[in-house]
Structure 1
Amino acid sequence: MSKQKAWLAFIFVALWAAVCQAETVQVQHGGDTFVSGGTISQTLDSSGDAFVTGRRVVAGGTSQGDLHVTGFDLTINTNAGEDLYAAGASVDVRGTVAHDLTAAGFSVRTAPSAETAGNVRLFGNTLTIEGPVSGALSAVGMDVILNAPVAGDARLLAKSISFGPDAVIGGTLTYSTEEKIAVPERVAPAARVVFEEVELSDAWDEWEGVRKEMPVLPGFASVFFGFLISLLFFVVLGALMLTFMPRRLERMRSSVAAAPGKSIVLGILGLALVFGMVPITAMTIVGLPFVPIAILAIFVFWTLAYALGAYSVAMWVFGAIGGGEEPGNVTRLLVFAGAICVIALLNFIPFVGWVANYTLVLLGMGAMTHALFHAMLGSPDVALDVDMKPIEGRET
């Protein structure tokens, strides 16, 4: 199962759980496991990758593939067979990681039981490293506390750095603080300690040094690879929509073609409703934990609207230049992929690219808003026709 398909399924599961709010939803697909809900206490047993999201997550068990965990308060007891990725306000990693560990949060901690066979990359305000690291360690935060053995090199960027009794660095320690600190000999001998003074204005440059330690491609190759991933994602999304909801997709596309102006107006209304979920949810106080889910919903609806708008315009252009009236799904996907490529090129034109992208989002959002109103209220156009028809024998 590709990463793009996996993340798409994960988004759908997360949105379903957001509708159910308190209910935990678990789906098995292609060997991967998807879990989403409000408060989750789950023992995983995944033969592939595992994706877990919730306001509060307590995860155990094992994941034979990669493990992805997001939420507000995360306690990860799961043993990851490959990489572990975690992001939240509070992240507590207690399980073992067979490859690399990457985590970000306001407070991030790796417990003594969290042994990592590869590299560890941590980002946040307070970072506490107590789990042994067999590879290299990269930590960027306000306060970094190292109390674990690190077999490889360590690079630390922080306002304050402290070392516990179990801190031992087998490679070179490179640290960056505003002032030089005393590194105990038991942690690393002076010959293997490098101090790089940092000021707030130099923080970004130091971050670039940390980032370069991670496996990345050169600039142009990174952009091109990112485009290919995005193109593949949208093609997979289009294939799913054409397979599972072809009639509904055709109705929404037709509504854009029939009245693009009305779709743009409805798109503005739809975006206002979606973005309005964040402050309204926060104002209820009890809904504060669901604000991240509301933000996720904005991202999902924006992406779907963009794809629908691009597909609608592409099919209109295809028909205008003499394309078949009923093209097959393969042809539709090729036309859609071509539209994504053209739009990507437009992004290199200042202002024009932004206007084109935003217009597509409004068109797609308008079609989805029209479909929603139609499902909730019926067809307003038919009702208008009935109301405006004069009654015979009565003066109008």
Structure 2
Amino acid sequence: MGTFINGLAVIAALGFSTASWAETVSARNGDDTFFAGSQLSQAVDTVGDTFMAARSVNINGATQGDLHVAGFDVSVNTDVVEDLYAAGGTLVIRGAIAKDLTGAAFSLRTERSSLTQGNARLMGNTVTIEGPVQGALSVMGRDVILNAAITGDARILAQTLSFGPDAVVSGTFTYSTEEKMQIPDTVAAAERVVFERISGGRVWEEWQDMGKDMPAFPTFMSLLFGFAISLLFFLVLGAFMLGFMPKRLAKMRRSIADAPGQILLLGVIGLSMLFGMVPITAMTIVGIPFVPVVVLAIVVAWTLGYALGAYSVAMRIWAALGGSEAPSNIARLLVLAGAIIFVALLNFIPFVGWVANFTLVLLGIGAMTRAIFQSMLGNPDVALDVDLKPLED
């Protein structure tokens, strides 16, 4: 689970920075290999985990560890010895996965050559499963087409569900659609088919019941352990941002220092747009399966904004106290750690702590919103950064 969380953090950090890269950037840290760029057409041959992020990703070769991929147009042709985590606008999987597959996309397809030896968890608007799954299959989508052999159990939630000639479920087949349908005997015998009608009210009831089992007051050691994990996560995130996008990070930090009021307003606008996508997506009906994706995007933006806001304010205070104008990356991480600890302590002060934390989030999201608007509308400052001299943070 820890590797998966770190992988999501890396993909989020790399994916945010690819807008400024015209060529492929790669790096290694131990057995981990990282690729990022505008377009990736990469033949990989890695011994450990591999992380890739770009607008367009086409992967060939083989990786001996987990593979984490994010992009708008993703094609995975490589064989994966461990787990595969992939997300994109369109996602096509052709390689074999030795363990588990987790994928999310607007249009998702597993080809016949894609054999998943573990479990497969898939989510998208249109999901087509043609690759065999030897473990359990879990799918949530608007239109789901099953045309593969599933050795284990299968659970599918869809608005429309159809089957191809190769569809076979050897285990228990549980499905949820608007109306009960006749499942062909070639797919699963009647005694192994279960129909579940799930309504929104039931989902909320289950959510509330889940909360009743949680302890009301965590112990001190639980709080301390949780804070230590959170601090380590932000330090790892900060290290990747400093290592992979130093110029972009310096530009966003400087925008907060130069115009904090404007950035705060942009943060309100950016956060409002993200939260507004939840009801708008749900109102389209066909977008209901994507509501969790939008919620995940809010969580990622909130986390990145908090880290960026804390880092920017801390660096401004560092400079005001006479600190070096160009400190080392180790010093920057220590400044970030100090900021996270200080703001966490502020949470013990009613109202003040909440305002301080939320202000940092708005500043960070505002800087990211400004960078996104500039990348969409064009910004001459980018050319100046390249032609004159590199930014110094």
TM more than 0.5: yes
- In structure 1, runs of 5+ residues without a counterpart are 213-217, 279-294, 320-327, 377-396
Q: What is the CA distance between 1:185 and its match in structure 2?
A: 1.8
* Structure 1 segment 1-396 matched on structure 2, within 5 A: 13-14=14-15, 17-21=18-22, 23-199=23-199, 201=200, 204=203, 229-237=229-237, 264-265=260-261, 267-268=263-264, 302-308=305-311, 311=314, 335-342=338-345, 354-361=354-361
C-alpha distance in 2 between matches for 1:205 and 1:229? 29
C-alpha distance in 2 between matches for 1:367 and 1:19? 15
Partners of 1:99 and 1:117 within 8 A in 2: yes
Deviations 1:162-208 (A, max 9, x none): 12222111211111111111112222111111111245x45846997
Distance 1:92 1:237, change over 3 A: closer
Partners of 2:140 and 2:157 within 8 A in 1: yes
Partners of 1:314 and 1:335 within 8 A in 2: no
C-alpha distance in 2 between matches for 1:366 and 1:101? 35
- Find the structure with the greater CA-based Rg: 1
- When normalised by structure 1's length, the TM-score is 0.65
- The size of the alignment, in residue pairs, is 326
Q: What is the CA distance between 1:230 and its match in structure 2?
A: 3.1
Deviations 1:274-316 (A, max 9, x none): 99xx9xxxxxxxxxxxxxxxx9997797344322256469979
The one-letter code of the counterpart of 1:52 is M
Query: Secondary structure at the residue paired with 2:38?
Result: strand
C-alpha distance in 2 between matches for 1:3 and 1:133? 21
The one-letter code of the counterpart of 2:112 is P
C-alpha distance in 2 between matches for 1:361 and 1:336? 13
Q: What is the match of residue 390 of structure 1?
A: none
Q: What is the match of residue 285 of structure 2?
A: none
C-alpha distance in 2 between matches for 1:133 and 1:311? 49
Q: What is the match of residue 284 of structure 1?
A: none
The one-letter code of the counterpart of 1:72 is F
Per mean C-alpha deviation after superposition, the further-off stretch among 298-307 and 156-165 is: 298-307
The one-letter code of the counterpart of 2:19 is A
Q: What is the CA distance between 1:99 and its match in structure 2?
A: 1.4
Partners of 1:266 and 1:367 within 8 A in 2: no
C-alpha distance in 1 between matches for 2:93 and 2:71? 13
Q: What is the CA distance between 1:337 and its match in structure 2?
A: 4.5
Partners of 1:67 and 1:80 within 8 A in 2: yes
Partners of 2:158 and 2:176 within 8 A in 1: yes
Distance 1:82 1:359, change over 3 A: same
- In structure 2, runs of 5+ residues without a counterpart are 275-297, 323-329, 371-380, 386-393
C-alpha distance in 1 between matches for 2:204 and 2:62? 38
Distance 1:174 1:273, change over 3 A: closer
Query: Secondary structure at the residue paired with 1:179?
Result: coil
The one-letter code of the counterpart of 1:125 is N
Deviations 1:228-260 (A, max 9, x none): 54321223356789999xxxx9xx99x99xxx9
Partners of 1:263 and 1:362 within 8 A in 2: no
Q: Structure 1 vs Structure 2: percent identity of aligned residues?
A: 46
Partners of 1:36 and 1:52 within 8 A in 2: yes
C-alpha distance in 2 between matches for 1:53 and 1:361? 24
The one-letter code of the counterpart of 2:56 is R
Query: Secondary structure at the residue paired with 1:158?
Result: strand
Query: Secondary structure at the residue paired with 2:142?
Result: strand
Q: What is the CA distance between 1:265 and its match in structure 2?
A: 2.9
The one-letter code of the counterpart of 1:264 is P
The one-letter code of the counterpart of 1:196 is E
